[in-house]
Amino acid sequence: MTRRILPLDRLRDLLPSARGLTSAEIRERRARYGPNDIIEIPGRPFLDLVRDTAKDPMIWFLVGTGVIYALIGERVEALTLLVAILPLIGMDAFLHRRTRASTAGLESRLASTASILRDGSEIEVRATEVVPGDLALVSAGDVFPADGIVIDETGLQVDESALTGEAYPIRKTSIDKTPADGEEPFVEGTHWGFAGTRVLTGNARLRVVFTGGETLYGEIVRSAVRGEHARTPLQAAIANLVSVLVGAAALMCLILAFVRLRQGYGWVDALVSAVTLAVAAIPEEFPVVFTFFLGVGVYRLAKRQALVRRAVSVENIGRTSTICSDKTGTITEGRLSLTHLVPAPGIAPEQLLGLAALASRYDSHDPLDTAILQETGARGALSQGQEILATFPFTEDRKRETVVLREAGAMLLAATKGAAEVVLGMAALDDAAREHWMRQVIDLAEAGHKVIACASRPLADESWAGGEPDRGFTMSGLLALEDPVREGVAQAIHRCAEVGIHTIMVTGDHPATALAVAREIGLGGGQPVVISGDEMESRLSGSGALLERVDVIARAVPSQKLTLVRALQASGEIVAVTGDGVNDVPALQAADIGVAMGERGTRSAREASSIILLDDNFRTIVRAIGEGQQLFKNLTLSFEYLLAIHIPLVTTAALIPLAGFPLLYLPIHIVWLEMIIHPTAMLAFQDLPDEDRLQPARRERAERLFSSRDWAIIGGTGLLITALVTLGYLNSLDMHQNAGHGRAMALAILTLSSAALCATLSRLRAWAPRVIAAGTVVLSVALIQTPPLARLLHLKSLHWTDWGIAAAGATLAAMLPMRLGRHKARPKSAHR
């Protein structure tokens, strides 16, 4: 599970202690941090439901049309329309609940109460009253009420599936001492208890650190809520399309009303026909479905350990064509261990290690400093009694860290460590010695090690003016460190290469080290092309075309990431870039998908990113791309269904009355169709299972759902169903001279076509499309074949031969559309 930063200012004198808070401390902390509201539940959910239902134009259509029929004395018709509001309200209530199902489902996993030690006594309080600093007592079966540090435990195992999706138990251990590395040290996930996770075995005391929206659980839930309301470019494009369609529908309604009046049908017929066409033509499902799918996508990405901060990334992540990934901590574990010491002649290994430790910072989160200091402490090689006079921290341009100190004997000493070529350039060496050291650097780097050099020189008080010494150093030796590759990264790289997603590893390491890691993970098909950051800048000239054959940028500084991202975008790539530091902010903001590290990323990097990785793992990026692709695929299926079924509905609702025939659809028929179309579009496609394979990179910047071929298939399907509905209506009308029979035939064809389209597009791969397709058929047969219901709907029951013809027509219509995913472009061969 993920590491987290531990803000020690919240736990002054509390972390090593077993005491609870006092009443005064509780009041002060509640005022500072607020209540422990991990999920913000709306105070008036019923009013929200009423407000959402009131936005449904179908409700107002039924009320208005019912009033018109009541005014002209058609009381049965008016009552039927008003009663029809009830199932619509029920459907709205169900969809309202389903839209918030992910958030509501999460609520059930949270603790409602918590056992807390306060004022020396154990008490039970509501979970919302827990504050940072509280000491919570948990045992088997309990749920952690907030995020905190385990300070005492016995056989503690936890189910963290609510956060990770993994069902296996997680062993937790208590933290043995207060971390000493800075004000906000990293603490491993094995020491954390997270809100919403359940204790399986054992018991523990938990010192609460984060409450409310600051918990991991709260971040996931609130990101999903923000994702539902954010506006994206594709959403804006859909809104524009809806505006055009609404305008066109209004014009068609006026024309239809005018024509019906001229045909002598009267103002009631003209008004009802126009309003019915308007409701049939209003494409309100498109923005509703899109917003719903967006919220689902945010939640599903969170379950993949990718926390979405901007809804636009849900669109973009599935279109990623190039990933620019850090090496350390993303492709590798980011936990360096010192494996080789190569001291200079006359220098003991412990002396070399001690000099490297002098040029390291205890308050640094740099894995390199941490590894050196841990090894130095383990070997007892820490020097004592020095007075630090000046420190010159590591910077990207200098690539070294230097310290000037006064030793016990009053002598001044300068110690430096850093990139081998930089430190060797500062050392007083002849050509043979320099070549010897460089050979050793290359040998270690080619074996996959991160190699740094260490050097020192004495200084005289009178000759040192306070600046950083940069020459005259004596070479002390080399240190080689290993950073293991994360599990599953090689497989993720291979999956990307198969579908033409180009992966570029960006690292500050020596080219030989980067090459060894790149070969291990399979970049470039096992033969990666490596260039330096400086070489990249000199070769680009504003175009990313030269980067198609590059797999690794070595000796890169964060500022060069921005150049890399812009060059790739200029060549048409959709770029995802990872970053964790302040210097990465420009690249994260410029990228199509900025991905910040949740474990080691700075606040600035997180704020600039659109996605935060909770586990800092490259494999998670690839999984998120797959999830985004599946979401987009499901959305296109829903829109394909909506278009294919709306074309015949609107066309026949307009053309048949314009041709002078009796109205095909009465208001009650639109209610029936609404109860089929709306839930089908919302529910039949959004839970289709992930096919667990990436799709070829699309490299499309335009916000569009369909290609020209797709539009041709959708249009052809819609027109075919239009012809079948029209022929079925006119043929039955001529044979029986009865509008009721013709309407029944037309509605049978249209509703069975809806069920067939649902089955074809979804391939019935989930329970929702199966239930909806079967329910559509059963509802149609029941409404048409049950005489009392048929009379209320102004229909006549059909013969079984009619149903056979309707079923054959629906099957024919459903055979034309092909799943959008079947016509896959052949992926490029790994950009070679």
Residue 533 lies in a domain: yes
Residue 467 lies in a domain: yes
Give the tens place of pLDDT for each residue, 773-797. 999 999 999 999 999 999 888 899 9
Residue 754 pLDDT > 80, yes or no? yes
Claim to verify: residue 18 and residue 160 sit in the same structural domain: yes
Taking each helix axis from N to C end, the angle separating 285-303 and 618-658, rounded to the nearest 10 degrees, works out to 170
pTM across the whole model: 0.65
> In CATH, what number is assigned to the domain containing residue 576?
3.40.50.1000
Give the tens place of pLDDT for each residue, 381-411. 666 667 888 888 887 778 889 999 887 667 7
Distance CA 799, CA 810 (A): 17
Highest-confidence segment of 249-253, 317-321, 583-587, 821-825:
317-321
CB–CB of 610/477 below 8 Å? no
Averaged confidence pLDDT in the chain? 80
Count of domains for the chain? 5
Instruction: Please give the pLDDT value at position 42.
Output: 52
Residue 201 lies in a domain: yes
Residue 151 pLDDT > 80, yes or no? yes
In 494-610, DSSP assigns E strands to 502-506, 530-532, 552-554, 575-579, 593-597
**pLDDT band (50, 70, 90) for residue 737:** low
**pLDDT band (50, 70, 90) for residue 52:** low
Range in 43-47, 86-90, 280-284, 468-472 the model is least confident about:
43-47
Residue 122 pLDDT > 50, yes or no? yes
Range in 210-219, 292-301, 510-519, 726-735 the model is least confident about:
292-301
Distance CA 649, CA 644 (A): 9
Claim to verify: residue 64 and residue 168 sit in the same structural domain: no
Range in 164-168, 173-177, 432-436, 663-667 the model is least confident about:
164-168
**pLDDT band (50, 70, 90) for residue 806:** very high
Instruction: Please give the pLDDT value at position 100.
Output: 54
Residue 687 pLDDT > 50, yes or no? yes
Radius of gyration (Cα) for the chain, nearest Å? 34
Residue 217 lies in a domain: no
Residue 831 pLDDT > 50, yes or no? no
- In one-letter notation, the amino acid at residue 179 is P
Q: Greater confidence, 296 or 594?
A: 594
> In CATH, what number is assigned to the domain containing residue 655?
1.20.1110.10
Mean pLDDT of 158-171: 69
Residue 701 lies in a domain: no
CB–CB of 732/631 below 8 Å? no
**pLDDT band (50, 70, 90) for residue 751:** very high
> In CATH, what number is assigned to the domain containing residue 382?
3.40.1110.10
Residue 373 pLDDT > 90, yes or no? no
In 639-730, DSSP assigns E strands to none
Q: Tell me which residue of 151, 129, 170, 204 sits closest to 2, measured CA to CA.
A: 170
Distance CA 599, CA 5 (A): 7
Q: Tell me which residue of 812, 614, 608 sits closest to 720, measured CA to CA.
A: 812
Residue 429 pLDDT > 70, yes or no? yes
Claim to verify: residue 132 and residue 150 sit in the same structural domain: yes
Q: Which DSSP string do the residues of 555-608 spell out, in sequence order? A: S--HHHHHHHHHHHHHTT--EEEEE-SGGGHHHHHHSSEEEEETTT--HHHHHH
Q: Which domain holds residue 27?
A: 4-39+110-211
Pairing relation of β-strands 502-506 and 147-159? unpaired
Claim to verify: residue 31 and residue 178 sit in the same structural domain: yes
Claim to verify: residue 395 and residue 441 sit in the same structural domain: yes
Claim to verify: residue 349 and residue 283 sit in the same structural domain: no
Q: Greater confidence, 610 or 541?
A: 610
Pairing relation of β-strands 611-613 and 593-597? parallel
Claim to verify: residue 259 and residue 386 sit in the same structural domain: no
Mean pLDDT of 708-713: 84
Residue 102 pLDDT > 90, yes or no? no
Distance CA 807, CA 777 (A): 10
Which among 454, 479, 504 is the end of a domain? 479
Which among 430, 449, 479 is the end of a domain? 479
Distance CA 827, CA 832 (A): 12
Claim to verify: residue 734 and residue 782 sit in the same structural domain: yes
Residue 273 pLDDT > 90, yes or no? no
Scored b (16 or more CB within 10 A) or e, 272-293 reads bbbbbbbbbbbbbbbebbbbbb
Q: Greater confidence, 820 or 652?
A: 652
**pLDDT band (50, 70, 90) for residue 59:** low
> In CATH, what number is assigned to the domain containing residue 28?
2.70.150.10
Mean pLDDT of 47-57: 63
Which among 108, 137, 161 is the end of a domain? 108
Mean pLDDT of 211-232: 65
CB–CB of 769/684 below 8 Å? yes
Claim to verify: residue 124 and residue 242 sit in the same structural domain: no
Residue 543 pLDDT > 60, yes or no? no
Upper half-sphere CA count for residue 630 (Cβ side, 13 Å):
22
Q: Greater confidence, 752 or 231?
A: 752
Residue 724 lies in a domain: yes
Residue 607 pLDDT > 80, yes or no? no
Claim to verify: residue 30 and residue 56 sit in the same structural domain: no
Claim to verify: residue 400 and residue 433 sit in the same structural domain: yes
Distance of CA 572 to the CA centre of its chain: 23
Claim to verify: residue 808 and residue 671 sit in the same structural domain: yes
Residue 540 lies in a domain: yes
Residue 220 lies in a domain: no
